[in-house]
Each structure stands twice: as structure tokens, then as C-alpha cells.
């Protein structure tokens, strides 16, 4: 599904990604861990097409296509979803209006008719339940006045609405209390299917108690320096990163 | 000059196609209410010939307990200079003014507001927003007379610049001689939030649609209660395409 090969990227003059290699297949969950400043968020931004970052070397293939050539919105329509670490507040744009536009824009790119109003409302209700997000948030502006936990649950709700092939969740667990963490993680778990994949970027092992990864990678100084299975996350929790970095 | 006497509750919704200067006075009598909605556009041939500003002067005289809600929308004009003078003459009068102005490159709009609080217990609010590709001026004067105690006066002016050569002049001016008043103002000039555009695009919404959605959201509070909202959004949409 996703093949990242020797990916280098910089922001302004600073090189942040220094040769990432990663392959993700359908049905897999990958966790990317690593200390602050190692390039985790940069990786997710580069995949999404954030124009602040400039790819200087390497390639990314997604669903058999050159991902880096595509616009941000095209990548989304191809099935790439980014769960934002800091979801953006958009005053004046209602959740319902925003999601209808998003769903229909993606459908249009995929050559499908716009979704019927009744079907859309039913879908909104069903998907909101996955992350226990109440009806009242749907009438509000996107993320405006949402609590930290509501914003993160809203990201997973949008993921459920858009049904991406690959979801990249950038520190979705940061700033969450235990209950919100459980709701978010259970939501992600419910959305797992054999034909989709998830990359979970996280600082902490605790999220991985709920979302069991198939692979755990350690990102340090712009490179993946170590990969393993879910036991690696536990080991990092116990011993930190130094033993890997110093190897 | 035209003078109107408003003695009951009256609703006026106008679409003015500017051809020359306009002078109007509304006398809103004690206890009466005027809801005024005014869309202003300039005919294409008048635009071509425009050398001097077209002047629209409107004066509102509010007697005791009178209420005014006015919404002006300057959508498609070459050089427009609008002055609105609000005289809160009677106690307990209330004026609520909202407005939107849109200018393309080579166009200029001026909104000159004079909010005169002359007696106690009056309230006023001003909310003006601009989508600016040319030059737009907002001059907002709040004057509070010595005797006009317990005045509440609010003023907001927010602008989005649509291109690098766009220019906004926002000039709040508060002149207060009473000591027991509540007054505040705020002014911003900025661009469409790039983080919000990125967020919308990441959800699959094409860049142009995302920008349009953001602009519509920005102006929503100026148009949401308009009786001919659909016609209005069409006018605005047509204008935005030229920017």
C-alpha cells in the first residue's frame, strides 16, 4: 500500500528527514515512536503534502502511484488521512457542512455521485457513536470551542466518515486523559479492516495497549534506526531510547 | 436629499444601483424601529466613467427608545464613499450597524461611521467586515457626549486581504466625554488562515473550494439574516470569481 524509499525532507534550510525507509501493507498497524524532534510529525506532514516541507530526495509510492506528485486534496481522495496533532479551528464552517463537502469532494474525484442527504445524516449519526461524540457538536463550527479530547475524538470521527485506506495518526494520544484515550483508541480499533492500514505516531506506549501494532519503529534524527514487534514498545517504555540510540 | 419618517416598525430592503451621489435622512421616531438592508452595486458603464468617488450619505436620527438595525453590503463598485451618521438623540435608543465591503484590484471603498451618543442609556454596535483586493477604508468614530452616561458602544472591523497589493486602512476613533460608559473596539487585518486551508484540503476539499468556504464563513455574520440571501450569495460569488 505504502512504500517509502530513502525519503529526505527539509523545512526552510534544516534537513529533518534523512533517509526514511518504510513499507506498510494492507491490514497492518505500524507504530512510530521516538524522542522529540526526531522527525515524526515531519514524516506525517510530508506524506499529507504540507507545503512547508520540501522533499529533497527519495520516493513515496501509495497504491501504486507516485504520492509526492499529487496535490494535498488528491492524496486525501486517494485514501490518505492525517489525524492532526493540533486540529485546526475553523470559525463559521459547521461540522456538517464541512464533512458533506469533504465526502462529496472525495467522491467526485473517485467518479462517484454526491451522497444523498438522508444517507449522509444516517452515516454521521452512526460514525459519531464510534467515538461517543454527541449530536450537539455537529451543529457547531469545526473544532471551535471543542475541548482537547473532543478535538481528538473529532479527528477519529472524520476518519470514520472518510474511510481512508491509510490513516496516519499524529500523536492522537497527546493531551488526552485516560477516558478520552480509551474512546479514541477503541474508535481506531473498530475502524481496522483487512483492506486498510494505520500508522500511529506516538510518544507513549499506553496508546498501544489499545491499538495493538504489528510493527514498532523507532525514529531518531530523521531515520528509522530500529524496528520490532509490539514488545519493542514495552521495552522502550521501560528503558527509554538511549539503549537503541547508542547501539 | 430624501427624508423618511419612521413612526412604526418598518423593514426596508434595497438594492441600490449607484448612478450618482445619494443623500438620505431617516428620522426614527420615539419607540419606532427601522430594519434597513442595503446592497450597493455600480452599473458597469458608470464604473468605467468613475473618476471621483460616488458619495452615499445616510443620516439616522434616533429618538427616545428608537431601534435601528442596518446592514450595508458594498459588493461591486469602483469608487464608493459611504458616510453613515448615527445620532442617538433620545434616551434608550439603540443602533446596530453591520456591513460588508468587497473591493477588487483598482477599486476603492470607504466606510465612514459617525456614531454620536448624545443622551444617556443608549447602545450601539458596529460590525464591519472587508474582503479586500483593492483599497478599503474603515473610519469608525464613536463620540460620547458628556451627559451620555451608561452608554454601551461596541465596534469591530475585520479584514481579509485577497492579494499582495491589497490595502486596508482601519481607523477606530473613540472620543469619550462621559465617565460611566462601556466601550470597546477591535480591528484585524489578515489573510485566509493557511493552516485552515491545509486542514480542509487534507480532508479532500480542493484548494479553491477551501478558500471560498473560508471567505463565506468569514462574511457569514454579515449576510446570514438577509432576506434575499440567495441572490446576495450569488452576487458575492460572482464578485469573488473576479478577484
Taking CB atoms and an 8 Å limit, are A105 and B196 in contact across chains?
no
Cite the DSSP H helix spans in chain B.
44-49, 194-202, 207-223, 229-241
Taking CB atoms and an 8 Å limit, are A50 and B214 in contact across chains?
no
Selection from A155-169, A228-242, B40-54 with the highest mean pLDDT: A155-169
B195, B206, B216 member nearest A88 (Cβ) = B195
A133 and chain B in contact, CB less than 8 A: no
What the block records as the C-alpha cell of A238 is 521501560
Confidence of residue A2 (pLDDT cuts 50, 70, 90): very high
Q: With pLDDT > 70 as the criterion, what percentage of chain A qualifies?
A: 100
A77, A93, A162 member nearest B213 (Cβ) = A93
Q: Are strands A215-220 and A29-33 parallel, antiparallel or unpaired?
A: parallel
Confidence of residue A138 (pLDDT cuts 50, 70, 90): confident
CB A53 within 8 A of CB A45: yes
* Enclosing H/E stretch for A207: none
Task: Kindly list the distances between the CA atom of residue A188 and the CA atoms of A160, A205, A228, B105, B225, in Å, as whole numbers in the listed order.
Answer: 9, 16, 21, 48, 40
Taking CB atoms and an 8 Å limit, are A93 and B209 in contact across chains?
no
A115 and chain B in contact, CB less than 8 A: no
Is residue B45 classed exposed, middle or buried when 0-12, 13-18 and 19+ CB atoms within 10 A define those classes?
Answer: exposed
Give the nearest chain A residue to B201 (CA atoms): A73
Distance CA A159, CA A185 (A): 13
Task: Kindly list the distances between the CA atom of residue B142 and the CA atoms of A33, A58, A178, B75, in Å, as whole numbers in the listed order.
Answer: 57, 60, 51, 25
CB B84 within 8 A of CB B58: yes
A73, A87, A93 member nearest B206 (Cβ) = A73
- Among B residues 49-108, those touching chain A with beta carbons less than 8 Å apart: none
Query: Across residues B53-59, what is the average pLDDT?
Result: 93
Instruction: Supply the pLDDT for residue B147.
Output: 94
Residue A217 belongs to what domain range? 2-245
- Among A residues 88-107, those touching chain B with beta carbons less than 8 Å apart: 88-93, 98-99, 101-103, 105-106
- Concatenating the DSSP letter of every residue in A58-85 gives EEEEETTEEGGGS-HHHHHHHTEEEE-S
ipTM comes to 0.95
Task: For residue A168, report the phi and psi dihedrals to the nearest 5 degrees.
Answer: -110, 115
User: Hey, of B193, B203, B206, which one would you mutate to test binding to chain A, going by the most A CBs within 10 A of its CB?
Assistant: B203
Distance CA A247, CA A230 (A): 20
Instruction: Supply the pLDDT for residue B50.
Output: 67
pLDDT tens-digit profile of A181-237?
Answer: 888 888 888 899 999 999 999 988 888 888 899 999 999 999 999 999 999 988 888
Chain A residues near residue B198 by CB distance under 8 angstroms: 50-51, 72, 88
Taking CB atoms and an 8 Å limit, are B202 and A88 in contact across chains?
no
Distance CA B176, CA A135 (A): 46
Instruction: Supply the pLDDT for residue B27.
Output: 98
Distance CA A187, CA A211 (A): 9
A72 and chain B in contact, CB less than 8 A: yes
Half-sphere exposure of B57 (CA within 13 A, CB side): 7
Query: Across residues B34-63, what is the average pLDDT?
Result: 87
Give the nearest chain A residue to B218 (CA atoms): A92
Chain A residues near residue B213 by CB distance under 8 angstroms: 93, 98, 101
Number of CB pairs, chain A paired with chain B, less than 8 A apart: 73
Chain B residues near residue A89 by CB distance under 8 angstroms: 196
pLDDT tens-digit profile of B96-114?
Answer: 999 999 999 999 999 999 9
Q: What is the CATH number of the domain that holds A117?
A: 3.40.50.300
Mean of the per-residue pLDDT values of chain A: 92
Taking CB atoms and an 8 Å limit, are A77 and B214 in contact across chains?
no
What total number of domains does chain A contain?
A: 1
Distance CA A4, CA A20 (A): 7
Taking CB atoms and an 8 Å limit, are A88 and B198 in contact across chains?
yes
pLDDT tens-digit profile of A20-60?
Answer: 999 999 999 999 999 888 999 999 999 999 999 999 999 99
Neighbour count for residue A12 (Cβ, 10 Å): 8
Give the nearest chain B residue to A93 (CA atoms): B217
CB B150 within 8 A of CB B181: yes
Taking CB atoms and an 8 Å limit, are A93 and B202 in contact across chains?
no
Taking CB atoms and an 8 Å limit, are A106 and B206 in contact across chains?
no
Report the range of poorest mean pLDDT among A18-32, A121-135, B17-31, B136-150.
A121-135
The closest alpha carbon to B111, from B132, B88, B87, belongs to B132
Task: For residue A127, report the phi and psi dihedrals to the nearest 5 degrees.
Answer: -75, -30
- Among B residues 203-222, those touching chain A with beta carbons less than 8 Å apart: 203-207, 209-210, 213-214, 216-218, 220-221
For cell 442596518, the residue is B70
Q: With pLDDT > 90 as the criterion, what percentage of chain A qualifies?
A: 70
pLDDT tens-digit profile of B160-213?
Answer: 999 999 999 999 999 999 999 999 999 999 998 999 999 999 999 999 999 989
Query: Across residues A148-155, what is the average pLDDT?
Result: 91
Instruction: Supply the pLDDT for residue A16.
Output: 96
Confidence of residue B44 (pLDDT cuts 50, 70, 90): confident
Instruction: Supply the pLDDT for residue A32.
Output: 95
Comparison of pLDDT for A204 and A97, the residue scoring more: A97
Distance CA A70, CA A116 (A): 28
Neighbour count for residue B11 (Cβ, 10 Å): 11
- Concatenating the DSSP letter of every residue in B1-28 gives -EEEEE-SEEEEEEEEEESS-EEEEEEE
Query: Across residues B89-97, what is the average pLDDT?
Result: 97
Taking CB atoms and an 8 Å limit, are B204 and A92 in contact across chains?
no
Measured in angstroms, the CA of A83 and the nearest CA of chain B are apart by: 10
**Helix, strand and coil in chain B, % to nearest 5:** 20, 55, 25
Amino acid at each position: 500500500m505504502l512504500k517509502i524509499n530513502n525519503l529526505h525532507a527539509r523545512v526552510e534550510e534544516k534537513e529533518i528527514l534523512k533517509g526514511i525507509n518504510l513499507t506498510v501493507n494492507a491490514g497492518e498497524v505500524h507504530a512510530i515512536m521516538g524522542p522529540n524532534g526526531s522527525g515524526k510529525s515531519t514524516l506525517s506532514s510530508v506524506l499529507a503534502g504540507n507545503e512547508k516541507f520540501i522533499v529533497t530526495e527519495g520516493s513515496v509510492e501509495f497504491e501504486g502511484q507516485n504520492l509526492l506528485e499529487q496535490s494535498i486534496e488528491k492524496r486525501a481522495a486517494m485514501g490518505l488521512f492525517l489525524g492532526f496533532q493540533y486540529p485546526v479551528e475553523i470559525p463559521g464552517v459547521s461540522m456538517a457542512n464541512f464533512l458533506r463537502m469533504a465526502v462529496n469532494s472525495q467522491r467526485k474525484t473517485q467518479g462517484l455521485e454526491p451522497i444523498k442527504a438522508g444517507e449522509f445524516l444516517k452515516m454521521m449519526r452512526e460514525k459519531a457513536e464510534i467515538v461517543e461524540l454527541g449530536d450537539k457538536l455537529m451543529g457547531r463550527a469545526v473544532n471551535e470551542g471543542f475541548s482537547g479530547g473532543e478535538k481528538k475524538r473529532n479527528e477519529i470521527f472524520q476518519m470514520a466518515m472518510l474511510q481512508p485506506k491509510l490513516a496516519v495518526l499524529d500523536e492522537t494520544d497527546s493531551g488526552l486523559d485516560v477516558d478520552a484515550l480509551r474512546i479514541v483508541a477503541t474508535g481506531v480499533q473498530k475502524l481496522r479492516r483487512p483492506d486498510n492500514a494505520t500508522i500511529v505516531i506516538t510518544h507513549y506506549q499506553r496508546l498501544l495497549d489499545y491499538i495493538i501494532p504489528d510493527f514498532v519503529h523507532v525514529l531518531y534524527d530523521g531515520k528509522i534506526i530500529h524496528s520490532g514487534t509490539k514488545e519493542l514498545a514495552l521495552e522502550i517504555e521501560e528503558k527509554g531510547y538511549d539503549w537503541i540510540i547508542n547501539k | 436629499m430624501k427624508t423618511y419618517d419612521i413612526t412604526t416598525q418598518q423593514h426596508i430592503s434595497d438594492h441600490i444601483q449607484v448612478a450618482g451621489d445619494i443623500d438620505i435622512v431617516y428620522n426614527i421616531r420615539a419607540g419606532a424601529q427601522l430594519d434597513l438592508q442595503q446592497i450597493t452595486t455600480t452599473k458597469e458603464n458608470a464604473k468605467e466613467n468613475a473618476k471621483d468617488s460616488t458619495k452615499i450619505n445616510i443620516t439616522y436620527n434616533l429618538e427616545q427608545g428608537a431601534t435601528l438595525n442596518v446592514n450595508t453590503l458594498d459588493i461591486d463598485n469602483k469608487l464608493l464613499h459611504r458616510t453613515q451618521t448615527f445620532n442617538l438623540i433620545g434616551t434608550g435608543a439603540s443602533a446596530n450597524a453591520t456591513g460588508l465591503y468587497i473591493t477588487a484590484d483598482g477599486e476603492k471603498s470607504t466606510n465612514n461611521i459617525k456614531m454620536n451618543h448624545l443622551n444617556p442609556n443608549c447602545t450601539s454596535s458596529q460590525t464591519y467586515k472587508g474582503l479586500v483586493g483593492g483599497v478599503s477604508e474603515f473610519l469608525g468614530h464613536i463620540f460620547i457626549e458628556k451627559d451620555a452616561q451608561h452608554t454601551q458602544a461596541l465596534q469591530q472591523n475585520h479584514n481579509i486581504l485577497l492579494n499582495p497589493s491589497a490595502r486596508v486602512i482601519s481607523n477606530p476613533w473613540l472620543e469619550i466625554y462621559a465617565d460611566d460608559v462601556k466601550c470597546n473596539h477591535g480591528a484585524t487585518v489578515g489573510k485566509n488562515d493557511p493552516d485552515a486551508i491545509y486542514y480542509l484540503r487534507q480532508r479532500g476539499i480542493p484548494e479553491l473550494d477551501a478558500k471560498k468556504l473560508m471567505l463565506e464563513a468569514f462574511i457569514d455574520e454579515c449576510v446570514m439574516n438577509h432576506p434575499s440571501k440567495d441572490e446576495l450569495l450569488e452576487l458575492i460569488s460572482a464578485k469573488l470569481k473576479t478577484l
